[in-house]
């Protein structure tokens, strides 16, 4: 099963040119319009179905898109390259940090979007603001292998960090992970789909306490449980 999944993804990638900037095949939803910056970076919303998505992932995606219709849930768009507004939010806090050289800016990618379609992290996050929770639908591709046939623990940590961060995120405020605690209870099969349910448990000054579990689609298997502490950066400190 794993071999066929990998082979399928390889041919898919080859068909598509295997390069950044190769257009995604059309989906019933139109991705956000592409914007070309001075560095010729293409901004495409990656949190939309592509041909590497399994039937399970597409089915769950459709179910959550339905939940978005009454406004209780929203799908969070996600981009491979830096997002100007988010960069602005963070820039003010890291005054002493050397900027990435102009020539390399177009190479900068969000870690969890750093692979071509289907090979690494395929995910979409839905947020329910009233209930202060998010659901992340995640399919770990063949480049994320750790123990043969299973997703690397570091990759699981990365997607958990991302899901928790977006659960804790406050619009216009910069936050960072201060603590991440994960119990890995069962290995996650490569190319399978898992559901990460996150919630904001407590807000205490600048500290946001969040937790999540990683479950199988049928909810019968709990793969991991995690807690996270995110800190709103202090505008008074300005640099770290």
Ligand X SMILES: CCCCCCCCCCCCCCCC(=O)SCCNC(=O)CCNC(=O)[C@H](O)C(C)(C)COP(=O)(O)OP(=O)(O)OC[C@H]1O[C@@H](n2cnc3c(N)ncnc32)[C@H](O)[C@@H]1OP(=O)(O)O
- Residue numbers annotated as active site: 161
Instruction: Please give the structure tokens belonging to residue 240.
Output: 């770290």
- Smallest separation, CB 30 to ligand X (Å): 21
Check binding of 176 to ligand X (CB under 6 A): yes
Query: Residues 205, 218, 236, 239: which binds ligand X (CB under 6 A)?
Result: 205
Question: What gap in Å lies between CA 122 and CA 115, rounded to an integer?
Answer: 9
Question: What gap in Å lies between CA 47 and CA 137, rounded to an integer?
Answer: 10
Check binding of 206 to ligand X (CB under 6 A): yes
Instruction: Please give the structure tokens belonging to residue 13.
Output: 């990638």
Part in contact with ligand X (CB under 6 A); list of ranges 13-21, 62-70, 97-105, 163-171:
163-171
Sheet of 207-216: strand order equals 74-76, 121-128, 133-140, 193-204, 207-216, 222-232, 175-184
- Smallest separation, CB 12 to ligand X (Å): 25
- Smallest separation, CB 177 to ligand X (Å): 4
Q: Both ends of the chain: CA-CA distance in Å?
A: 47
- CB contact set of 46 (below 8 Å; sequence gap of 6+): 78, 79, 80, 113
> How many chain residues interact with ligand X (CB under 6 A)?
21
Choose between 56 and 89: whose C-beta lies nearer to ligand X.
Answer: 89
Check binding of 175 to ligand X (CB under 6 A): yes
CB-facing half-sphere around the CA of 13: CA atoms within 13 A: 18
Check binding of 76 to ligand X (CB under 6 A): no
Residues 177 and 229: beta-carbon distance below 8 Å: yes
Check binding of 238 to ligand X (CB under 6 A): no
Choose between 148 and 154: whose C-beta lies nearer to ligand X.
Answer: 154
Q: Which string of x and - marks every residue 108-137 that binds ligand X (by CB under 6 A)?
A: --x---------------------------
Choose between 175 and 191: whose C-beta lies nearer to ligand X.
Answer: 175
If residue 75 lies in a helix (H) or strand (E), which one and from where to where?
strand 74-76
Check binding of 177 to ligand X (CB under 6 A): yes
Check binding of 196 to ligand X (CB under 6 A): no
Check binding of 163 to ligand X (CB under 6 A): no
Contacts to ligand X from residues 83-112, by CB under 6 A: 86, 110
Chain-centroid distance of CA 105 in Å reads: 21
- CB contact set of 63 (below 8 Å; sequence gap of 6+): none
Q: Interface with ligand X by CB under 6 A: which residues?
A: 86, 110, 161-162, 165-166, 169, 175-179, 205-207, 229, 231, 233-234, 237, 240
């Amino acid at each position: 099963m794993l071999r066929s999944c990998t082979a399928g993804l390889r041919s898919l990638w080859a068909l598509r040119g295997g390069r950044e900037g190769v257009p995604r095949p059309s989906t019933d939803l139109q991705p956000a319009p592409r914007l070309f910056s001075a560095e010729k970076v293409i901004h495409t919303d990656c949190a939309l179905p592509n041909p590497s998505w399994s039937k399970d992932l597409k089915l769950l995606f459709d179910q959550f898109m339905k939940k978005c219709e009454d406004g209780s849930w929203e799908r969070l768009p996600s981009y491979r390259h830096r997002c100007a507004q988010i960069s602005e939010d963070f820039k003010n806090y890291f005054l002493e940090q050397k900027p990435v050289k102009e020539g390399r800016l177009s190479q900068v990618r969000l870690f969890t979007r750093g692979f071509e379609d289907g090979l690494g992290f395929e995910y979409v996050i839905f947020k329910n603001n009233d209930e202060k929770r998010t659901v992340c639908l995640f399919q770990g591709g063949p480049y994320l292998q750790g123990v043969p046939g299973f997703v690397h623990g570091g990759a699981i940590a990365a997607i958990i960090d991302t899901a928790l961060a977006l659960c804790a995120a406050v619009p216009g405020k910069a936050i960072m992970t201060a603590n991440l605690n994960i119990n890995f209870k069962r290995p996650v099969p490569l190319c399978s789909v898992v559901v990460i349910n996150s919630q904001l448990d407590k807000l205490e000054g600048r500290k946001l306490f969040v937790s999540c579990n990683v479950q199988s689609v049928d909810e019968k298997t709990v793969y991991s449980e995690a807690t996270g502490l995110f800190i709103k950066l202090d505008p008074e400190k300005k640099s770290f």
